[in-house]
Amino acid sequence: MVNWSPNPVAVKKRSPWVQVVGHAGNFQMGSDGRLLKKFCECEQQCFLQLMSDSLQPFVPGYYGVTQRDEQDYNLMDDLLADFDSPCIMDCKMGSRTYLEEELEKARECPQPRKDMYEKMIAVDPNAPTMDERARQAVLKTRYMQWRETLSSTATLGFRIEGIKKSDGTCNTNFKRTKYKDEVIQTLEDFVDNNMLILRSYLQRLKELRGVLEKSDFFKAHEVVGSSLLFVHDLTGKAGIWMIDFGKTVPLPPPLTLDHRSPWVEGNREDGYLWGLDNFIDILTNILPEK
Ligand SMILES: Nc1ncnc2c1ncn2[C@@H]1O[C@H](COP(=O)(O)OP(=O)(O)OP(=O)(O)O)[C@@H](O)[C@H]1O
Ligand SMILES: O=P(O)(O)O[C@@H]1[C@H](O)[C@H](O)[C@@H](OP(=O)(O)O)[C@H](OP(=O)(O)O)[C@H]1O
């Protein structure tokens, strides 16, 4: 006997998860629209607190720790799961991309890195100092600071890390995307000049800013190296979520941050909201008034 339905429900084909930037091998696809990210205790602690913070709608749902092939993973929502052939952009937020504790460690026990020297000269052979050239190595904090000033991190408080379009093209070559007009051009290309999508993103960023300004979690954490993941598809659906809490650390009470004041070593300020303000201003200026 053949069963048929007069109103067949279209089975939605889920697009496979894709990683835009970040450490290779950190993720595994889970089932039911979930994602496994290699366990990091710092990130686990953040997720646990975020699930009962006002920021919860702006982060992937978190489902605890799971094991696969003897490796522990944090289990979270795949933010792409409800999109159809999504376009994805990863923007690293904040004016500083290394923790104050990394700076202290580098001073106490300097460990120059050859891999970072190689990455540096691949972008600019003239960037290393004489000393770095002699060692063929650079300190991680020095590399990170160099990346900050080369890109828009130091001047705008955020930088574009990578973009994957729905046609499958992926671009992670934004190390030198520094000036406002370069950022604008990249954003317009990301949305294929669709101003309705940009307007949705602007609305979501404003909502996020409002929630961040009130969040207990945000006040009490130094948020470094965290990204905003922008996702939209051809249906016009668009969303933005905070991801990557591997370097989001609690502050010693009663210290809190306003996330806008300039960083001076010791004050732990990360420039997150300063960057978000700049992002919102940029979008506001390119969108025609309604
Ligand atoms: N919850 C999620 N849903 C969908 N995609 C995600 C999610 N989390 C991360 N990704 C994808 O993986 C990429 C890397 O994520 P993330 O920054 O968390 O990894 P990482 O290895 O910690 O990165 P980093 O090298 O900056 O430390 C993102 O750019 C995004 O493409
Ligand atoms: O983007 P690039 O130029 O490749 O540089 C990497 C990037 O800054 C990552 O955020 C950082 O990881 P963390 O944020 O986790 O520190 C990584 O450090 P690592 O090599 O020590 O992992 C850098 O190599």
Q: What is the pTM of this model?
A: 0.95
Sorting pLDDT into bands at 50, 70 and 90, what band is 1? very low
Pocket test for ligand 1, best of 14, 15, 18, 26 (most atoms within 8 A of CB): 26
Atom of ligand 2 nearest to the CA of 116: 24
Sorting pLDDT into bands at 50, 70 and 90, what band is 289? confident
Q: Which residue has the tokens 């409800």?
A: 82
Is residue 221 within 8 A of residue 269, CB to CB? The reply is: no
Residue 16 has pLDDT above 90, yes or no: no
pLDDT tens for each residue of 115-151: 999 999 999 999 999 999 999 999 999 999 999 999 9
| Ligand 2 environment, Cβ below 6 A | 97, 119, 140, 144, 147, 225, 246-247
Sorting pLDDT into bands at 50, 70 and 90, what band is 13? low
Mean pLDDT, range 72-92, rounded to an integer = 97
Give start and end residues of each alpha helix (H) in the chain. 41-50, 100-108, 114-123, 130-135, 140-150, 153-156, 180-190, 195-212, 216-219, 272-286
Is residue 52 within 8 A of residue 45, CB to CB? The reply is: no
Q: What is the ipTM of this complex?
A: 0.98
CA-nearest of 54, 52, 60, 50 to 211 is: 54
d(CA 178, CA 135): 29
